[in-house]
Amino acid sequence: MTTAEFIAACFWPLAGLFALLLTGVRDKALRRYFSKAAIGFALLYFGLWALFPQSSIAAMVDSYIFAGLVGLACIGYGYIKWRQDRYYGFAVASKETLAAIGLFLGGALLAGWSGTTLYFDFAQPRLVLEGRAENLRSGRRSAGYLVDIAGRTVKATAPDFERLKLTPHVRVEVGRGSNYIFEVEYRAN
């Protein structure tokens, strides 16, 4: 396990721990201390995530889970705002109502996208490709590292991309949702 995988794997347990600490602690001084520690941890993690976005599969899964949680938060906030607009009697087509409905629908799309991606990656059998790793390229945008294996373009994390630069004959397992390489097995040339 690399350092990047360890940090990415520790994110959600630590986030849950900080959430429990912040909701359970009644002492204001101690809560302030835990708040600063949680903010420092979050800034450190998101700073590392911004600098090394595709450092491991665990980091990619974290990003999909985070997107799903943001989508669920948008759904909840949009629904609450829409219910308040209806309660206070705003017009059906007011800007506030349309913004709340748009936030609700945008959150539903974000949560649905990340949920289906994670479902196809972990609940469906992975796609198995065998062949030579060819046409390695790193995208300048969020596409990241791309590799052609057996006539199919797949995404790779930074460590896998570095190992595949030698264009070996490989057998890979690719997630059906994210199209990322989950496992690499080197074959004899």
Distance set, CA 185 to CA 33, 130, 188 (Å) = 46, 9, 10
> For 28-55, how does the pLDDT look when each residue is reduced to its tens digit (9 = 90+)?
888 888 888 888 888 888 787 777 777 7
In this structure, are residues 129 and 172 in contact, taking their beta carbons and an 8 Å threshold?
yes
Q: What is the pLDDT of residue 55?
A: 77
Burial classification of residue 136, based on how many CB atoms lie within 10 Å of its CB (0-12 exposed, 13-18 middle, 19 or more buried): middle
Percentage of the chain surpassing pLDDT 70? 90
C-alpha–C-alpha distance, residues 93 and 15, integer Å: 39
User: According to CATH, what is the number of the domain 127-186?
Assistant: 2.40.50
User: Does the pLDDT value for residue 123 go beyond 90?
Assistant: yes
What is this structure's pTM? 0.79
Better pLDDT: 92 or 77: 77
Task: Note the Cα 14 to chain centre separation in Å.
Answer: 16
Angle among Cα 138, 144, 149 to the nearest 5 degrees reads: 70
